Amino acid sequence: MAVPTKRHSHVRASAGMVGRQWQTSPMHPKNFEVKDDTARRLFAESIGDERFMADVLANRYNRLILDRWNDLSLPHGWLVAGCLFQSVWNLLSGRPPEQDIKDYDLFYFDGADLSEAGEQRVQARVEQVLGDLGITVEASNQARVHLWYEAHFGQPYDALRSVEDGIRRFLVPATCVGVRPGQVYAPNGLELLYGGVLAMNPLVPHRELFERKAASYRQRWGWLSVG
């Protein structure tokens, strides 16, 4: 994959990570009791972008999606959400990185076409490129989220200005992460993600939605904590 050299706010370049094997650190949660909060905190504080990208790429489907990135032709595209942070949590739990990941989310931004039909055309292209992987991959135009969010989730949602704006508004700050070839976007850093801390995002203070989401995560990764 080509490594972009341009950076912008909160986006960091991360080169040479394709195919790198995930390795267990001496401070990895597999090597200490989950109840050891001090060890978990020290481990989480040590995490950088390269380790995060390595863990993301340990999931073979993430790696294959990024390998085919140029063929997707997504305007301002990012691979986001559960396929990233859930891969990390699986590895921290000693599980295969792909386990129990329901879908793989691709965000893009096309303010010139807010139609559902336009989004469906992009989805069709995604399925053509990635359909042989045998996983569910969903493409979402972040320019049109405000048109359907309230009807689906019961809460108002202001129009987004970019994909990065959408990532910042995930319900749980620890999960606000995105990657694309050579780049990591983590506006809240990575400490909360690797520390397993679930908190409500002040940008979307919808407590009922947050509590449902947190409960769902903790059913699968019992060591996560609500902070």
At 55-108, the pLDDT tens digits run 999 999 999 999 999 999 999 999 999 999 999 999 999 999 999 999 999 999
| DSSP codes joined into one string, 120-153 | HHHHHHHHHHHGGG-S-EEEEEGGGGGGTHHHHH
Question: Taking the model in full, what pTM does it have?
Answer: 0.84
At 152-199, the pLDDT tens digits run 999 889 999 999 999 999 999 999 999 999 999 999 999 999 999 999
